[in-house]
Amino acid sequence: MRKQSHKILMGWPARFSLRNTAKTPPIMRSKSARAMTLIEVMMALMVLALVFGGVISSMVRAASITRDSKVIYRETAILNDAVEKMRSMTFDGLKTYLAANPTIEIPPSGAGTAAGLGGAYTYILKNESDTTKDPIKITLTIYPKDLPQRSISLVTYISSDGLINKGKK
């Protein structure tokens, strides 16, 4: 009779009972009662490391792109400021200014030309122009002092009659 009662406990109701599963034989234990193995834990950690590595990598790249776009914005603002300053001058005053200032250094504090636009870099603003002709072809090149390979150039023409757009005919 004992075998009969043992079979009843080991059957279907025993699997879903509230009794302690440690007393039931290992064959009868449910899969949810088993713990995770060390290999499963290590694999889960590897997957998490890959996911977080990708997230951190994309955040670093986004910060780099943002920094570069700020630098380009500052350089463009300094060039626009320089052109507006030249447009406000008389033609003879512009010739004198261009001849006297072939290179302007803009410190990080923003003092001097293009006040407040220097940012973190010291910029070099070069002008290459031929003041003997009318209109004057002015080529402005700006770059951070330590990074001359990262330059932006702008070409404009100013005549004794004012600014000239060479694109229109």
CA 42 vs CA 14, 54, 168: distances in Å: 34, 18, 67
Question: SS3 for 165?
Answer: coil
Q: 126 by DSSP, 3-state: which?
A: strand
**In the prediction, which pLDDT does 163 show?**
60
Q: Which position has the higher pLDDT, 107 or 88?
A: 88
Average pLDDT, the chain: 76
Does the predicted model carry a pTM greater than 0.85?
no
Tokens in use for 16? 């879903």
Each residue of 16-38: pLDDT tens digit?
555 555 555 555 555 555 677 88
pLDDT of res. 101? 83
What is the spatial distance between Cα 87 and Cα 82, in angstroms, rounded to a whole number?
9
Would you give the DSSP letter of residue 143? E
Where does the pLDDT of residue 62 fall: very low under 50, low under 70, confident under 90, or very high at 90 and above?
very high
**Cα–Cα distance between 135 and 132 in angstroms, integer?**
9
Q: pLDDT for 104-134, tens place per residue?
A: 888 775 444 444 455 667 888 888 887 888 7
Q: For 153, phi and psi rounded to 5 degrees? A: -120, 150
3-class DSSP state of 67:
helix
